[in-house]
């Protein structure tokens, strides 16, 4: 159904924009990694959720009248191979935060677990979706913190990984998509939107991308990351990259050392700006010379003394 392919294309575009933003932050072309901010994380969750709902709708389209074993197994093999490729690639590039159960892993498992729900009464599937979505809030047990069970998402520990889409609560969105597909697809098929066919080039490109969403997913991120890396080599890092993290670290160390929060916060901002002015900000880890370290320490002391005394340290 072209309209579903178009919906997948919109989700792909949103995902590419998010990954592009993450890449720019990762190579320090932006002052901070905006994709890692609370707003960025909520956006990522929304994009992942839209994909998983569409997975449920797609299961209904493919197998709603009975499981088509060969196409289903072929699709599952492609997704599983893609998930393995993501794990291997991220382990090589980001060994400390590689993807062991990201969105492709979740889609692969959910595509199998979701099959029985295609043929159960839809209210049963809806109740199951609600329970899966609520499970992380309802289930609490120390043994679920075992790394072998992180794929469930029911532990208290959030593992360090660049993409984490555990079965709970995310499988609940696939079940929600199954309910929406079973109830909504017959209505959509009779509507003007459901009969839509792409006529322009943009529409044809979008529906093509939607039909081949796995290939687009696997290809787009290496391309975007490569472009961001080349741009960073040409332009150099943003001079304010890492400044927010520096302020947070300064504030933590200042308060642990006995300083009050208010002057420590003011001194953190003042010190960061002073280091930038003096070309002494070292977010990339380059070492200071003896003279540079002494100058940086003097700027920090001056900022804190002024903040503690109640004057404007600028």
Using one digit for the tens of pLDDT, what is the confidence trace for 212-223?
A: 999 999 999 999
How confident is the model at residue 284, as a pLDDT? 64
Confirm whether 39 is domain-assigned: yes
Tokens of 305: 């003394």
Instruction: Provide the pLDDT confidence category of residue 282 given band limits of 50, 70 and 90.
Output: confident
Claim to verify: residue 53 and residue 188 sit in the same structural domain: yes
How confident is the model at residue 311, as a pLDDT? 59
Claim to verify: residue 205 and residue 134 sit in the same structural domain: yes
Strand partners, 164: 101
Claim to verify: residue 211 and residue 255 sit in the same structural domain: no
Confirm whether 314 is domain-assigned: no
Percent of the chain with pLDDT over 90: 77
Average pLDDT of the segment spanning 261-286: 87
Q: Is the pLDDT of residue 313 over 70?
A: no
Burial class of 19 by CB neighbour count within 10 A (0 to 12, 13 to 18, 19+): buried
What is the b/e burial string over 220-240, where b = at least 16 CB atoms within 10 angstroms of the residue's CB? bbeebbeebeeebeeeeebeb
Claim to verify: residue 254 and residue 201 sit in the same structural domain: no
Q: Is the pLDDT of residue 181 over 80?
A: yes
Give the domain-ending residue among 179, 209, 235: 235
Claim to verify: residue 119 and residue 150 sit in the same structural domain: yes
For the chain, the distance separating the N- and C-terminal CA atoms, rounded to the nearest angstrom, is 61
Claim to verify: residue 116 and residue 156 sit in the same structural domain: yes
Q: How many domains is the chain partitioned into structurally?
A: 2
Average pLDDT of the segment spanning 276-304: 86
Claim to verify: residue 131 and residue 225 sit in the same structural domain: yes
Give the domain-ending residue among 203, 235, 267: 235
- Containing structural domain, residue 62: 2-235
CA dist., res. 266 & res. 308, Å (int): 9
How confident is the model at residue 132, as a pLDDT? 97
Claim to verify: residue 39 and residue 181 sit in the same structural domain: yes
Confirm whether 16 is domain-assigned: yes
Claim to verify: residue 153 and residue 276 sit in the same structural domain: no
How confident is the model at residue 309, as a pLDDT? 77
Instruction: Provide the pLDDT confidence category of residue 114 given band limits of 50, 70 and 90.
Output: very high
Claim to verify: residue 258 and residue 175 sit in the same structural domain: no
Which residues touch 52 (CB under 8 Å, ≥6 apart)? 103, 106, 107, 110, 165, 170, 171, 173, 174, 177
How confident is the model at residue 285, as a pLDDT? 65
> For residue range 198-249, what is the model confidence (pLDDT) as tens digits?
988 999 999 999 999 999 999 999 999 999 999 999 998 898 898 988 999 9
Closest CA to 14 of 39, 42, 46: 46
Instruction: Provide the pLDDT confidence category of residue 308 given band limits of 50, 70 and 90.
Output: confident
Closest CA to 313 of 277, 282, 279: 277
Give the domain-ending residue among 235, 256, 281: 235
Average pLDDT of the segment spanning 262-290: 87
Confirm whether 131 is domain-assigned: yes
Closest CA to 117 of 109, 108, 126: 126
Mean pLDDT of the chain, nearest integer: 92
Claim to verify: residue 59 and residue 35 sit in the same structural domain: yes
Q: Is the pLDDT of residue 312 over 60?
A: no
Claim to verify: residue 259 and residue 230 sit in the same structural domain: no
Average pLDDT of the segment spanning 138-156: 91
> For residue range 46-105, what is the model confidence (pLDDT) as tens digits?
999 999 999 999 999 999 889 999 999 999 999 999 999 999 999 999 999 999 999 999
Residue 201: HSE in the Cβ half-sphere, 13 Å Cα cutoff:
0
Strand partners, 101: 164
CA dist., res. 277 & res. 199, Å (int): 56
Q: Is the pLDDT of residue 274 over 70?
A: yes
List the single range of 23-32, 57-66, 167-176, 301-310 with lowest mean pLDDT.
301-310
Percent of the chain with pLDDT over 70: 98
Q: Output the CA torsion sign for 35, 36, 37, 38.
A: positive
Q: Is the pLDDT of residue 314 over 60?
A: no
Confirm whether 313 is domain-assigned: no
Whole-prediction pTM: 0.86
What is the b/e burial string over 78-110, where b = at least 16 CB atoms within 10 angstroms of the residue's CB? ebbebbeebbeebeeeeeeebbbbbbbbbbbbb
């Amino acid at each position: 159904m072209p309209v579903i392919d178009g919906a997948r294309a919109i989700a792909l575009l949103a995902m590419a924009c998010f990954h592009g933003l993450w890449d720019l932050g990762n190579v320090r072309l932006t002052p901070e990694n905006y994709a890692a901010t609370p707003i960025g994380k909520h956006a990522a969750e929304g994009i992942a959720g839209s994909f998983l709902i569409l997975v449920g709708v797609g299961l209904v389209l493919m197998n709603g009248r009975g499981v088509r074993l060969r196409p289903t197994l072929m699709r599952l093999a492609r997704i599983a191979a893609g998930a393995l490729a993501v794990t291997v690639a991220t382990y090589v590039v980001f060994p400390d935060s590689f993807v062991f159960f990201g969105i492709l892993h979740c889609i692969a498992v959910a595509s199998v677990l979701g099959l029985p729900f295609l043929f159960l009464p839809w209210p049963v599937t809806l109740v199951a979706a609600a329970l899966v979505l609520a499970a992380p809030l309802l289930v609490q047990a120390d043994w679920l913190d075992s790394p072998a069970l992180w794929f469930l998402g029911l532990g208290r520990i959030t593992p360090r990984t660049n993409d984490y889409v555990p079965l709970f609560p995310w499988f609940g969105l696939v079940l929600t998509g199954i309910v929406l597909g079973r109830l909504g697809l017959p209505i959509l098929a009779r509507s003007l939107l459901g009969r839509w066919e792409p006529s322009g080039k943009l529409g044809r490109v979008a529906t093509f991308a939607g039909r081949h969403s796995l290939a687009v997913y696997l290809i787009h991120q290496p391309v975007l990351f490569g472009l961001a890396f080349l741009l960073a080599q040409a332009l150099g890092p943003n001079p304010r990259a890492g400044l927010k993290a520096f302020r947070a670290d300064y504030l933590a160390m200042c308060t642990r050392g006995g300083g009050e929060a208010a002057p420590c916060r003011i001194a953190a901002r003042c010190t960061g700006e002073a280091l930038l002015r003096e070309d002494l900000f070292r977010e990339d880890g380059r070492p200071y010379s003896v003279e540079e370290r002494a100058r940086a320490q003097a700027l920090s002391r001056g900022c804190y003394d002024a903040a503690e005394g109640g004057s404007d340290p600028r």
